């Protein structure tokens, strides 16, 4: 069985894996996914609704009431489909010649096929006072994505 590595556990990466699983019945690849964020795939479009609800106690993604709407693929989905998810792990290097990816946790994974679905970054318009310095936003200013 061939190895598929997906770098990016956002909406694009997860959707690609869903389609591969649907078309192959899960028999085409052993799948490993890397996601920079420490949880499963969620619907980023609903973030504004969740954040607009106002200050709340810390939200635990595993227990939050919006799980059914916010989280597209719960932890069980990865397990049930035999997907090895490296949540909260960033791929820092891809060796295309050796067919290996290297992650910031020290792990190295070989692949036959590679999908890069790393998403996008927030755009911050040039507004005075937005940045505290060259890398840090002013307290109270947030971007939904990192």
Query: What does the domain layout of the chain look like in residue ranges?
Result: 2-116
Query: Which has the minimum average pLDDT: 12-16, 122-126, 142-146?
Result: 142-146
Residue range 2-116 in CATH 3.50.50.60:
yes
- Partners of 131 in the beta sheet? 137
Give residue 87's region: left, alpha or beta (phi > 0; psi -120 to 50): beta
Q: Categorize the per-residue pLDDT at 100 as very low, low, confident or very high, splitting at 50, 70 and 90.
A: very high
Q: Categorize the per-residue pLDDT at 37 as very low, low, confident or very high, splitting at 50, 70 and 90.
A: confident
- As a whole number of angstroms, the distance between CA 88 and CA 41 comes to 12
pTM for the model:
0.76
- As a whole number of angstroms, the distance between CA 104 and CA 56 comes to 32
- As a whole number of angstroms, the distance between CA 95 and CA 62 comes to 34
Q: Is the pLDDT of residue 120 over 50?
A: yes
Q: Is the pLDDT of residue 61 over 70?
A: no
- As a whole number of angstroms, the distance between CA 39 and CA 91 comes to 16
Q: Categorize the per-residue pLDDT at 64 as very low, low, confident or very high, splitting at 50, 70 and 90.
A: very low
Q: For the chain, what is the mean pLDDT? A: 85
Measure CA of the first residue to CA of the last residue in the chain; give whole Å. 34
């Amino acid at each position: 069985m061939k190895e598929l590595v997906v770098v990016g556990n956002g909406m694009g990466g997860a959707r690609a894996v869903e389609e591969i699983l649907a078309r192959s019945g899960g028999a085409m690849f052993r799948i490993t996914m890397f996601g920079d964020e420490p949880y499963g795939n969620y619907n980023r479009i609903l973030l504004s609704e969740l954040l607009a609800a106002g200050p709340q106690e810390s939200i635990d993604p595993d227990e939050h009431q919006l799980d059914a709407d916010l989280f597209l693929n719960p932890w069980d989905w990865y397990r049930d489909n035999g997907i090895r998810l490296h949540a909260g792990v960033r791929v820092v290097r891809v060796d295309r010649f050796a067919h290996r990816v290297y992650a910031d946790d020290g792990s190295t994974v070989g692949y036959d096929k590679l999908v890069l679905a790393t998403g996008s970054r927030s755009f911050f318009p040039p507004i005075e006072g937005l940045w505290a310095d060259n890398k840090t936003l002013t307290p109270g200013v947030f971007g939904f994505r990192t």
